[in-house]
Chains A and B, each alone.
Chain A
Amino acid sequence: MKFSIYPLSYRWILYILLAVYAIVTLIPFLWALSSSFKPLSEIIAGDFWPHHFTLDNYRQIFLEQPLFLRWLFNSIFIAVCVTVLNLLFNSMAGYALARLQFRGKQFWFLLILAVLAVPAQVTLIPTFLILKSFGWLNSYQGMIIPGMINATFIFMMRQFFINFPRSLEEAAALDGLNTLQIFWYIVLPLAKPAIAAQAVFIFMGSWNNFLLPVVILFEPEMFTLPLGLNTFKGQYISYWNYIMAASMMFTLPVLCIYVFFNRYFIQSVTFTGGKG
């Protein structure tokens, strides 16, 4: 719903404001992009556009850093696993808390609310020690298992399912479906908006996560892209053309997803915002 509280003659001020902010938003990205196509000599000169457009930086990062593709794979693999597990577990737990009757339900719900208030840093050290004693440091399972469930999204899913019309489930129960079938065939397909919102957040969270990998991954083969990128920065201090090319390579996959699915990204933000 749109409405206008400004007379038309003032409208152009708003457009100028938006245009200025659009420039402020875009310039860092354009600057990084143009730097990634510059030879080193032009990096120091500091002009905005490259005079001698070159793809050498991109060729260089793949040649000099053969692990780059491995890091890309690690990041994608971990993010996908974490997302799938979270969707499954958070939705199930949320549904259980919203609908099923079981012993200590109220207790679990309050516990989840309490967990929401505890910042991740508190559990970081214990998680590190637990993973160490399992021998899971520097492994995929060490990155995936601790993040496979999330109190925030259990809470979000519970709120979603509580407002869900009960009649559908009751009809399905009359038709002889058991709880698991109802959940799988009736509830989940109808919970798509909530699940899409969750998926976007969890995937992005895992993809961009820096704290957990910096704590538990120490062999370069196991690095995720953010960690690899940080190492890269250490190796090529002041070779900003390489660093920017690597940064662009890291941004590209998410940017592609964003171009096609931007609707879901923005919906996911409003979804959590509305429920908060």
Chain B
Amino acid sequence: MSPAILGLGLFTIAPILFAIFLSFQKVQLLGGIEYEFVSFRNFARLATDDRLWIALKNTAEYVAIVVPAQTILALILAATLNAGIKGQNIWRILFFLPTITSSTVLTLIFMWIYNADGLFNQALAWIGLPTYNWLSDPQVALKGIMIMNIWSTAPFFMVIYLAALQDIPRSLYEAAEIDGANGWQQFRYITLPQLRPVTFFVVAMGIIGTFQLFDQSYIFSGGSGGPNNATLTVVLLIYQYVFRDLQLGYAAAIAFLLALIIIIVTLIQRRIFDQDPT
């Protein structure tokens, strides 16, 4: 059994320690690798890096919109499926489809749909909404990725919610019915409180996943984070610092900042879920 633990040590824990070391170094990648100790200079630089602030703002906006939207959509879909629908399994298998499709393929399909006179704009025009140049307009490029990811992640959480809904004891609803509670009241006062632990899990997974947005931005913008930095995310910025600018030490410092933000946000979320009396 110990080889497994050794493996974990070598390929997970050692890199974390190595990353701490790196974040205090200036790294030169010329043939060999040279290190120069720069103390906290990498961390001091974080505050003055304009592109980092843009990336943080984009990522925060993305998390703030996508996490609630996908959680609510997942809950609505699960509650609908659980309301005594025929063929529940078939709907579930169908809805789950985007979840099994690779992010690369989904991004390519959506880039094609988002084309200037593509399917999405045709649909928008048909219902009388304004159309946009989704791929090259900095105002909407990130929103395009948001729509795509809400669409593709919600079914995953829907399956989790559905399983949790089916675990709620039926007697609770029967008792409520006797007391004269209507459908909405039952949902509000039985279903939602019963789902709290699952919702905590869904939101936590959502936060961790959305903060790490990379594939979609990279493919959308060809690695640049464009148009005009509109799709630049923190992970994409880390990638750029490593492979465009070869500033590995600084990139490691950004990675730690991201880790710190994710941990803090998750802890805050945990407190909210622990206290808020429902």
Contact = CB atoms under 8 A, between A and B. Distances in A.
- With a 10 A CB-CB cut-off, give which of A18, A121, A126, A148 has the most chain B CB atoms: A121
A162 B247 CA distance: 45
Interface stretch (B41-49, B50-58, B248-256): B248-256
B102 A226 contact: yes
A44 to B, nearest CB: 8
B239 interface: yes
B18 A274 contact: no
Interface in B185-232: 186-187, 198, 201-202, 204-205, 208, 211-212, 214-215, 218-219, 222
Contacts of B106: 28
Instruction: State the main secondary structure of chain B at its contact with A.
Output: helix
B136 interface: no
Contacts of A145: 11
Contacts of A185: none
Contacts of A273: 159-160, 163-164, 198, 201-202
B124 to A, nearest CB: 14
Contacts of A90: 4
Interface in A80-95: 88-90, 92-93, 95
Interface stretch (A56-64, A110-118, A164-172): A110-118
A149 B11 contact: yes
B68 interface: no
Interface string B71-97: 000000100111111001001111111
A126 B18 contact: yes
Interface in B105-159: 105-106, 108-113, 115, 117-119, 122, 151, 155-156, 159
A1 B166 contact: yes
B2 interface: yes
A148 B102 contact: no
Interface in B1-30: 1-5, 7-8, 11-16, 18-19, 22
Contacts of B273: none
A29 B97 contact: yes
Contacts of B204: 276
Contacts of A128: 242
Interface residues on A, range: 35 or more
B122 A6 contact: no
Contacts of A88: 4
B94 A240 contact: no
A100 interface: yes
Contact of B33 (A32, A132, A151, A255): A132
B1 A244 contact: no
A125 B163 contact: no
Contacts of B94: 22, 25-26
A5 B15 contact: no
A36 to B, nearest CB: 10
A213 to B, nearest CB: 10
A55 interface: no
A119 B259 contact: yes
Contacts of A269: 156, 159-160, 163
Given A119-B258, A149-B4, A244-B109, A229 B104 contact: yes
A109 to B, nearest CB: 10
Contact of B19 (A126, A133, A207, A211): A126
Nearest to B212: A119
Contacts of A204: 100
A124 B108 CA distance: 25
A119 B212 CA distance: 8
Contact of A270 (B4, B160, B173, B263): B160
B95 A111 contact: no
Contact of A230 (B83, B95, B104, B239): B104
Closest 4 pairs between A and B when the two form their complex, measured CB to CB: A96-B1, A273-B160, A126-B15, A126-B18
11 contacts: A1-B170, A6-B83, A14-B83, A25-B97, A31-B119, A111-B13, A125-B242, A210-B219, A244-B112, A269-B163, A273-B164
Given A5-B183, A126-B19, A126-B22, 15 more contacts: A3-B84, A31-B113, A88-B4, A89-B7, A102-B1, A118-B16, A125-B252, A130-B15, A240-B112, A244-B108, A251-B102, A266-B93, A273-B198, A274-B163, A276-B201
